[in-house]
Amino acid sequence: MGKLISIVIPCYNEEKTINIICEAIQKTMEQVDDMEYELLLVNDGSSDDTLEKMQKLAEKNTRIKYYSFSRNFGKEAAIYAGLCNAKGDYVVTMDADMQDPPELLPKMLEILETEPYDSVATRRVSRTGEPLVRSAFARIFYKLINRISDAEIVDGARDYRLMTRAMVQSVLSLSEYNRFSKGIFAWVGYRTKWIEYENVKRVDGETKWSFWKLLKYSIDGIVNFSNVPLMISSYLGIVMTFVSFLAIVFIIVRKMIFGDPVSGWPSLACIITFVGGIQLFCMGIMGQYLSKTYMEVKKRPHYVICCTNDDEAQKNK
Ligand code: UDP
Ligand code: MG
C-alpha cells in the first residue's frame, strides 16, 4: 500500500485563500503516484467564514479534516493540533496563503523517498514585498538568536517543512506550552535538507502578524531557547558592583588627599537612576523567564477544539 502524507494548514481568517490552497493541493497530489494524502485544516478561531468554507470543502473531499478552535490560540497551537492529529507516514506543515508553494511538494517527497534525509525544510532567499523595517528587524533577530542559543535557527526559514513520522514523534515529545517551532525543529535534530525559493506574495487577504505580535514572538523564541539574557543580567550585576567599589576607593582616596567637601549631587542622581534602570531591566528579564515557567507549570491545554469532523480527534492537548 502507498504511503500516507498528512498536510497540516493553520488558518486564521483565511476565507479568501482557503479554497485556492485546497484546490492547488488537490491538483499537486494528483501528480504524486502511489501516495495517499489527508488534509488537516486547523481553524484558529477565525472571525470570518473560514469554518463554513472548510465544512463545505470537507463535504466534497473526504480527505479533508477540519479542527476548529474555540478561540484564537495562535499559529503555533494550530500547527501543534495538526501534528497531534496527523496520521501520515510523512507530515508537512504549510501556510494557507500560498506563500509556501504546494508545487514544491512532489520534489520534497521525492527527496525523502530517495535520499537519506528525515526532513525537507524550506527557506526563502529574498524578502521582497515585505516592509523594510520588518525585514531589518527579522535580520537582527536571527543574528541575535543564533549567537545566544544552542539550536541553530536559519534566517528566512519557513514553517513549510516535510517530516518523517519519526521526526514528528520527536517534535510532539516536546510538549512545552510556549512553542517556537523553528527552534523546536532545530532542537530535535535529524538530517534536514534545505531547499530555497524566492519570496512569494500572499494570494489574497492580509498578513495576520502585526509588528508587535512578531516582536513578542521573537522574545518568545529567545527566552525559549537561550539562557544568555539571564547570564547578561548577572554579569551586569557583577560589573556594576565592581565599578561602584572602584568609585568608593576613589572617593575615599580623594577625601584623604584633598579633603574635598561633599559635592556632585547631580552626578549622584544620575547614578541612582542609571542603577535603578539596570535593576528594573534585569528584573524584567527574570520576569520573562518566570512568566514562561508559570505558564508551563500550569499545564493548560495548548488548544480547545470545539468542532471537528474527525471522530478520533485529540480534542484537548
Ligand atoms: N495564522 C494562524 N493563527 C494566527 C496567525 C496566523 O493560524 O494567529 C496562520 C495564517 O492563517 C497563515 C499562517 O499562519 O496560514 C501564516 O500567517 P500569515 O500569512 O498572516 O503570516 P506571514 O506570512 O505574513 O508571516
Ligand atoms: Mg503569509
Q: Which domain holds residue 40?
A: 3-226+300-315
Can you give the pLDDT at residue 316?
A: 56
In the reported structure, the alpha carbon of residue 99 is separated from the centroid of ligand 2 by a whole-number distance in angstroms of 6
Can you give the pLDDT at residue 317?
A: 54
Closest residue by CA, ligand 1 atom 16: 95
Residues 246 and 201 in one domain: no
Closest residue by CA, ligand 1 atom 24: 207
| Backbone dihedral angles phi then psi of residue 13, each to the nearest 5 degrees | 50, 55
In the reported structure, the alpha carbon of residue 267 is separated from the centroid of ligand 2 by a whole-number distance in angstroms of 51
Residues 38 and 185 in one domain: yes
Residues 248 and 128 in one domain: no
Rounded to whole angstroms, the Cα distance separating 25 from 8 reads 11
In the reported structure, the alpha carbon of residue 11 is separated from the centroid of ligand 1 by a whole-number distance in angstroms of 7
Could you give the residue ranges of the DSSP H alpha helices within the chain? 18-30, 50-60, 75-85, 105-114, 132-148, 165-173, 181-188, 211-225, 228-258, 265-298
C-alpha cell at 164: 518523517
Can you give the pLDDT at residue 147?
A: 85
Q: Specify the CATH number for the domain of residue 30.
A: 3.90.550.10
Residues 94 and 39 in one domain: yes
Residues 261 and 293 in one domain: yes
Residues 280 and 172 in one domain: no
Rounded to whole angstroms, the Cα distance separating 241 from 233 reads 12
Residues 280 and 304 in one domain: no
Residue 46: CB within 6 Å of ligand 1? no
Residues 122 and 176 in one domain: yes
Can you give the pLDDT at residue 261?
A: 65
Residues 146 and 173 in one domain: yes
pLDDT tens column, 206-225? 787 888 888 888 888 888 88
Closest residue by CA, ligand 1 atom 3: 75
Count of domains observed in the chain? 2
Residues 81 and 201 in one domain: yes
Residues 90 and 190 in one domain: yes
In the reported structure, the alpha carbon of residue 1 is separated from the centroid of ligand 2 by a whole-number distance in angstroms of 35
Return the biggest CA–CA distance within the chain: 94
What number of other Cβ atoms are within 10 A of residue 248's Cβ?
Answer: 10
Residue 220: CB within 6 Å of ligand 1? no
Residues 55 and 168 in one domain: yes
pLDDT tens column, 221-264? 888 888 888 888 888 888 888 888 888 888 888 888 887 666 77
Structural contact between residues 303 and 77, judged by C-beta atoms closer than 8 angstroms: yes
pLDDT in tens, the chain (317 residues): 688 999 999 999 988 899 999 999 999 988 888 888 999 999 999 999 999 999 999 988 889 999 999 999 989 999 999 999 999 899 999 999 888 889 889 999 989 889 899 999 998 887 776 778 878 888 888 888 888 887 778 888 888 999 999 999 999 999 888 888 888 998 898 999 998 888 777 777 778 788 888 888 888 888 888 888 888 888 888 888 888 888 888 888 888 888 766 677 777 877 888 888 888 888 888 888 998 899 889 888 999 998 888 877 766 55
Rounded to whole angstroms, the Cα distance separating 153 from 162 reads 17
- The sign one gets for the Cα dihedral 119, 120, 124, 130 is negative
Share of the chain above pLDDT 70, in %: 97
Can you give the pLDDT at residue 288?
A: 87
Cα end-to-end span (Å), the chain:
31
Can you give the pLDDT at residue 118?
A: 92
